[in-house]
Copies of this chain bind each other. A is one copy, B any other.
Amino acid sequence: MTPFKLTDELLVQIEDLITDHKDSKLVSLMDEIHYADVAEIANELNEDQAVYLIKLLDSDKTSDVLKELDDDVREAVLNNLSSKEIAEEIEELDSDDAADIIAELPDDIVQEVISEIEDREHAQDIVDLLKYPEDSAGGLMAKELVRVNENWNVLTCVKEMRAQAENVTRVHSIYVVDDEERLLGRLSLKDLLTTSTTTPIRDVYIPKVDSVNVNEDPEEVAKIMSKYDLEAIPVIDDLGRLVGRITIDDIVDVIREEAEKDYQLAAGISQSVEADDSIWDLTRARLPWLFLGLIGGVGAAAIMGGFEELISKHAILFFFTPLIAAMAGNVGVQSSAIIVQGLANDDLKGSISNRLVKEVLLATLNGVILAAILLLFTWVWKGSFPTAMAISISLIVVIIVAGIIGTFTPLFLNKRGIDPAIATGPFITTSNDIFGILIYFWIAKVILGI
């Protein structure tokens, strides 16, 4: 019962077994390993080895492994399977996992695979799910659930439930619908078992049940489910009809992916990449933000070019440009990150102007403390009080402006319906670099009177 850990030794052992075509040894080894771990192994093998290994597994395990594989490995494996073979794997999966895999197939294969699925009801469910965009409750939900009609009596209900539960891995709730399939409520198993068999469901169900609309944003679904500690939530369409169910394990993935995306945006990585992706993929994710930084840097250079006279007289001002730029960037990232998190957690109350006032107070407090330290240092180092004063006053103003930009930008983007997370990271650092340097030299010019 110790958790599985993929070691380099195990990987080499498996690679050797594959090279030597020791099929029976491989099969018995894989039998011992959970499908999620088999997928982890396959992700580390090269394409041919991964295909070889997975083709050895029985169909049940293959389908489970398939849904856990990295996209690129899965694509390679599916390329090596016929439409009929893919359909057989699909048959074993829940409708949501099945639809996710089918959605990745080339268009011409999709129809073939669907027509090869023997369970026509399952095929229909999958086709239904393919209609919904990936980033909606519909794109997350599965069709497998237990539904009973309000007009049935307890006896019919129990009989029907038993048949339906066959297809459902985990029955979290029994949902009650009317003749138009509209969601009415849920049924407690306890009530069901303690009620006379002829009682109509209408008289025993609980009319209160949380649900989400099929078009709802997955992040919103995640918020609702984690706020109310739900393990499953029914999904309804615009007419209130029960169309599916989302379970907490899918929501865990949503939360993880969302967090990764925000983190990557804050770090200046523009698409989802992993350390093991190719240099080309990593470049495509990283270069755009670096290019933005380059433009910012060139802009800063151009601004500084406009202050050449000032600089020739007070060369020391130059020495502090990196400090000013860094402080502007750091303050901007801090304040935007706090706003982005507040928006994500829905706990920003009050108006934008209140928020800006608070940030100005905060930035002033931080700015004055830091500027006092800097004043002391520059005065002692260079001996010129007016220059030291000019630098320190500039620092305060730059910090305040950076705080305002950092606070305002994500709030503004959010109002416009744009993901505020893009406001963090290189975007805010770059623009604050430029603003910071401009303000810095401008204030220095005013104070030093040139």
Binding site for B on A (CB under 8 A): 1, 3, 6, 8, 11, 34, 36, 43-44, 170, 208-212, 220, 224-229, 231, 248-249, 251-253, 255-256, 259-260, 262-264, 266-269, 273-276, 279, 282-283, 286-287, 289-291, 293-294, 296-298, 300-302, 304-305, 308, 311-312, 315, 318-327, 329-331, 333-334, 336-339, 341-342, 345, 347-349, 355, 358, 361-362, 365-366, 369-370, 373-374, 377, 399, 424-426, 429-430, 433, 437
Contact = CB atoms under 8 A, between A and B. Distances in A.
A274 B338 contact: yes
Nearest to A437: B322
B274 A294 contact: no
A227, A255, A331, most chain B CB atoms within 10 A = A227
Contacts of A224: 3
Contact of A264 (B227, B325, B337): B337
B294 A323 contact: yes
A227 B5 CA distance: 12
29 contacts: A1-B210, A1-B211, A36-B227, A36-B228, A44-B349, A226-B253, A231-B231, A256-B259, A259-B259, A267-B333, A267-B334, A267-B338, A269-B338, A274-B342, A274-B347, A275-B339, A275-B348, A276-B348, A286-B362, A286-B366, A290-B334, A290-B370, A294-B327, A298-B374, A304-B318, A308-B315, A312-B315, A326-B433, A330-B426
A251 to B, nearest CB: 7
Given A224-B3, A342-B275, A347-B275, A289 B330 contact: yes
A330 B291 CA distance: 10
A interface secondary structure, majority: helix
Contact of A263 (B8, B253, B296, B341): B341
A279 B322 contact: no
A212 B4 CA distance: 12
Contacts of A211: 1
Contact of A429 (B231, B329, B362): B329
A372 to B, nearest CB: 11
Contacts of A320: 297, 301
Contacts of A305: 319
Nearest to A377: B298
Contacts of A361: 279
Contacts of A279: 358, 361-362, 365
Contacts of A327: 290, 293-294, 297
A294 B252 contact: no
Nearest to A298: B377
Contacts of A252: 225-226, 248, 251-252, 255
A269 B304 contact: no
A226 B256 contact: yes
A70 to B, nearest CB: 9
Given A256-B259, A311-B315, A330-B429, 10 more contacts: A1-B209, A6-B349, A252-B252, A268-B334, A287-B366, A290-B327, A290-B330, A294-B327, A301-B320, A301-B322
Nearest to A211: B1
A419 B10 CA distance: 27
Given A210-B1, A276-B347, A327-B294, A319 B301 contact: yes
